Structure 1
Amino acid sequence: MQSHQLSSGDVIADRRADYARMLEEGGEPEAAAELMEQALELVPTWAAGWYRLATYLEKAGRGEGAIEAYRRTLALDPDDIFGAALKLALLGDAATPDRPPSRYVERLFDDYADRFETSLVEKLDYSVPQKLASLVASTSRHYACAVDLGCGTGLLGPEIRACADRLEGFDLSQNMLAKAAEKQVYDHLAQADLSLAPDLSGLFAAAARHRADLVTAADVLMYLGNLESVFAIIEELAASGADIAFSVEDAGDSGGFHLAPSLRYAHSEAYVRLLLARHGLEILEIVKTVIRKDGGKPVAGILFLTCKPT
């Protein structure tokens, strides 16, 4: 974890916060919250400390106290690297944002990069790269240029490398990109924010528009609510006749998208179909499947294989 999450700058406050964490891990969130409050009396401007207090209060069933602590976190950290606004939405204190703060997502994956594959693949039975690659392989096409949006540590890259002459990967997290580079399967890797409009995302040079005949996004869209920006980017990237393969967490029959307790977004098939039609993309195949486990329970997902008409 990064220093901004750990240290208050005060030795006594840090010691009390460490004890609070141990109490919470031992199943005593009420006692943890009391000790964390003592730490914050010493360092009242510690945003990460307020966030930790909020999580302890929430686990202790003290919803109003948690809301106030999340509000304090957000006031002290307007960039919201901890995702306090998402927590406030889940607690009913704010409207669900269309997307999480970019700094929150970037920090989350920068911190998670070193243990990402072990946690996701070995512990959570993550299977999207293989399943999405199987959909791509069903086209029996060889691609001149494939673009892997939200490539992360590059789990999809080795699965589709053989079917593309050139493979590009983009992600918001520099630490995840560094892990992807270690695999040595991407011809180009760069940082990009999928929540931004195409002309602001850093993905495009004028000569590079419509360069991809395959665009993929494996387990990425659940970190966005409103997917308009992603489909606008795909529209800019995809050449005529391109295939587009991606996954979402399944929101069931809700008709739109919602924020889950995991702080990820789930999207309904109807919502994705609406966006595909709006952006002129044709559906080739839809597969409903389990994409991972969360808390020991299966997470339902939807895989889409679509194309941009010639």
Structure 2
Amino acid sequence: MQNNVPAFRSSGDLLADRRYAYAKAAVEAGDHAEAVEILGQVLELVPHWAPALFMLGIAEDKLSHRREAISAFEQAAELDVRDELGAGLQLARLGARPAPPAAAEAYVRRLFDQYAVHFERHLVGTLAYRAPALLLEAVSVIRPGVFSSVLDLGCGTGLCGMAFRAKAKMLCGVDLSPGMIEEARAKAVYDRLEVANIETFLAAEPAESADLLLAADVLVYIGDLSGVFAMAGRVLIPGGLFAFTVQAGEEGFRLGPDLRFAHAPAYIEKETAKSGLRIVAMESAVTRQDAGHDVQGLVIIAQKA
């Protein structure tokens, strides 16, 4: 995700738009010096256009021009107050700002709306995504039967829902991205679908109403998980399970170069315990690949006391 270039949005200047398209093609071809030159021309025409400044930051970073990249990202962040482009995350990655407690909602929504149509093909075919299968295996060992109410948090296009459909009497999916929800709806595996923030959604659900919560490759966009675990503890019935994956970290939670958060096992154990949950399974596993390399993750099941 680090070098994700935002989808095109017009600057209002036709010539600037055309040159931006040339710069985007140069970035995607790996010609970052050419992109910097073209983006300089773009910004002469539209000096306060956040997408051009953001792409300039990406190109300068690829050229190892750290100071120039930080300057471009800072300007983009000032213009993009909701951080839809992710300039704040880029600045945190470069050490110019503290890491936020979570990726901005506008950034996550834009990112996944942009990729919704071909996201699943890329995730499974290119990134060898395994999180739903790993969660299904882990949950089936602890409880082989059927669950009355299953909530798929950050359901995406519905891959986890497909894996768990046979184990759920009622299956609900929730995601920040309307585009992802539409893709999930087309699969016709969910009884209910909602567009919402995970914590907000769980806060609105009846207390002690679900016996299984799922979060497959979702919590990587949230650093501070205390709120999610608190809401999970509220919504789960006694004995209910929260099955999720995270990227494996060494201490607390940290934002990685891929703009995703990694969490340490000790952090997970501490924060779940605060919410009345106890870890009943925690296994290391490769959850997917990134740039051809295995991503080490943790497959975790917490149970409400």
Q: Distance in 2 between matches of 1:81 and 1:3?
A: 9
| Structure 2: unaligned runs, 5 residues or longer | none
Residue correspondence of structure 1 range 24-39 to structure 2 within 5 A: 24-39=27-42
Q: Does structure 1 residue 104 correspond to structure 2 residue 107? A: yes
What is the aligned partner in structure 2 of residue 8 from structure 1? 11
Q: CA deviation at 1:5?
A: 3.4
Q: CA deviation at 1:23?
A: 2.7
Q: CA deviation at 1:167?
A: 0.7
Which runs of structure 1 show a deviation greater than 6 angstroms over 4 or more consecutive aligned residues?
1-4
* Partner SS for 2:251: coil
What is the aligned partner in structure 1 of residue 294 from structure 2? 298
Query: Deviations for 1:5-49, whole angstroms, at most 9, x for unmatched residues?
Result: 342221111222222223333332122101101111101121111
TM-score by length of 2: 0.94
- Judging changes above 3 Å, is the alpha-carbon distance between structure 1 residues 27 and 150 closer, same or farther for their aligned structure 2 residues? closer
Query: Deviations for 1:50-79, whole angstroms, at most 9, x for unmatched residues?
Result: 111111111111111111110110111101
Query: Which of 213, 218, 221 in structure 2 is aligned with 1:220?
Result: 218
Q: CA deviation at 1:205?
A: 4.3
* Partner SS for 1:96: coil
Query: Deviations for 1:260-279, whole angstroms, at most 9, x for unmatched residues?
Result: 11111111111111112111
Q: Distance in 2 between matches of 1:188 and 1:100?
A: 26
* Partner SS for 2:298: strand
Residue correspondence of structure 1 range 117-136 to structure 2 within 5 A: 117-136=120-139
Percent identity over the alignment is 40
Query: Deviations for 1:133-189, whole angstroms, at most 9, x for unmatched residues?
Result: 111111123211111111111101121111111111111111111111111111111
Q: Does structure 1 residue 154 correspond to structure 2 residue 150? A: no
Residue correspondence of structure 1 range 47-62 to structure 2 within 5 A: 47-62=50-65
Residue correspondence of structure 1 range 1-310 to structure 2 within 5 A: 5-138=8-141, 139-194=143-198, 196=199, 201-205=200-204, 208-251=206-249, 254-309=250-305
Q: CA deviation at 1:3?
A: 9.0
TM-score by length of 1: 0.93
Q: Distance in 2 between matches of 1:21 and 1:172?
A: 27
For the 8 Å contact 2:5–2:24, the answer to whether it is kept is no
For the 8 Å contact 1:50–1:73, the answer to whether it is kept is yes
For the 8 Å contact 1:132–1:303, the answer to whether it is kept is yes
* Partner SS for 1:156: helix
Whichever residue aligns with residue 306 of structure 1, its letter is A
- Judging changes above 3 Å, is the alpha-carbon distance between structure 1 residues 250 and 294 closer, same or farther for their aligned structure 2 residues? same
Q: CA deviation at 1:2?
A: 11
Which is further off, 116-125 or 27-36? 27-36
Q: Distance in 2 between matches of 1:170 and 1:183?
A: 14
Query: Deviations for 1:287-308, whole angstroms, at most 9, x for unmatched residues?
Result: 1110111000000000011211
- Judging changes above 3 Å, is the alpha-carbon distance between structure 1 residues 38 and 255 closer, same or farther for their aligned structure 2 residues? same
* Partner SS for 1:71: helix
Instruction: Tell me how large the CA RMSD over aligned residues is.
Output: 1.7
Whichever residue aligns with residue 102 of structure 1, its letter is E
* Partner SS for 2:212: strand
Q: Distance in 1 between matches of 2:17 and 2:42?
A: 7
Which is further off, 273-282 or 214-223? 273-282
For the 8 Å contact 2:152–2:214, the answer to whether it is kept is yes
For the 8 Å contact 2:203–2:231, the answer to whether it is kept is no
Whichever residue aligns with residue 17 of structure 1, its letter is Y
